[in-house]
Structure 1
């Protein structure tokens, strides 16, 4: 999957902290041990029209391989859940690759439900640009 990553450290910095206004698009939690980062959770708010309430979308959860199995991921998710509850959110959601059985098992042990009936749809890169240029209905 590393071959799919094109974000630079500057891109991540801008996403978290914004340009000059200090308002980014996302937030992050970092788990450290002895001053060294062991993992992170990058997230942002969403909104459920089904519930009429805000939620949190977990974009990335990463724990260094050597730190796995020590509760780092669980601690990050627990803190993120606390933040959600504090902010009045009704859901904490994320995606997981269907082949990542260790992660799926981990999430299920936490009490998460894997929604088999939902699919993620994505327009990106060339397809996104082509769609924007396509003639047709527009909202001004």
Structure 2
């Protein structure tokens, strides 16, 4: 069963995020707190949304998908960016990941959004296999770029105007 996350799910989402970070060999980089997740998902101005995969019959959470809306200037429409998708190891192979992806695809279609995108580690062969099986295509000509930490702050310092004067 797939359902929208609720505020009561924040502790389990936090736990799943930590499990995902450990699986991706980057647990030390997962610094989000329960409070940050609560504000980001259910605060006055949500930055992201989440779906929960539950195992029947007991209803325990076995996975999640965390996503946010993006925008394409080329298509002139919004899209959905999947930030995290994770299913606990003991629940893998039962279709929970594909069900989460299908639910996200349905959100895109229902809202008239043109794209559903995500990134995957190149060594995650099982995930890549699932993505190929549903018709996802790699965007080989694109390379993800990231600016963070001191480089982010150094570039921000070069701005002519204070950061808080920029429009959202």
- TM-score normalised by the chain length of structure 2: 0.76
Is residue 67 of structure 2 the alignment partner of residue 43 of structure 1? Answer: yes
Find the aligned partners of 1:3 and 1:65 in 2 and give their Cα distance: 20
The 3-state SS of whatever aligns with 2:142 is: coil
Equivalent position of 2:52 in the other structure:
30
Equivalent position of 1:5 in the other structure:
30
Q: CA deviation at 1:100?
A: 1.2
Unaligned runs of 5+ in 2: 1-25
Find the aligned partners of 1:122 and 1:72 in 2 and give their Cα distance: 30
Q: CA deviation at 1:35?
A: 2.3
| Runs of 4+ in structure 1 over 4 Å off | 136-140
Equivalent position of 2:130 in the other structure:
106
The 3-state SS of whatever aligns with 1:115 is: coil
Which structure carries more helix by proportion? 2
The 3-state SS of whatever aligns with 1:103 is: helix
Calculate the aligned-residue CA RMSD, in Å: 1.4
Equivalent position of 2:89 in the other structure:
65
The 3-state SS of whatever aligns with 1:51 is: coil
Equivalent position of 1:16 in the other structure:
41
Q: CA deviation at 1:55?
A: 0.5
Q: CA deviation at 1:126?
A: 1.5
Number of aligned positions between the proteins: 136
- TM-score normalised by the chain length of structure 1: 0.91
The 3-state SS of whatever aligns with 1:54 is: strand
After superposition, the C-alpha distances for 1:114-136 in whole angstroms (9 at most, x for unaligned) are: 111111111112211111112x6
Find the aligned partners of 1:129 and 1:7 in 2 and give their Cα distance: 20
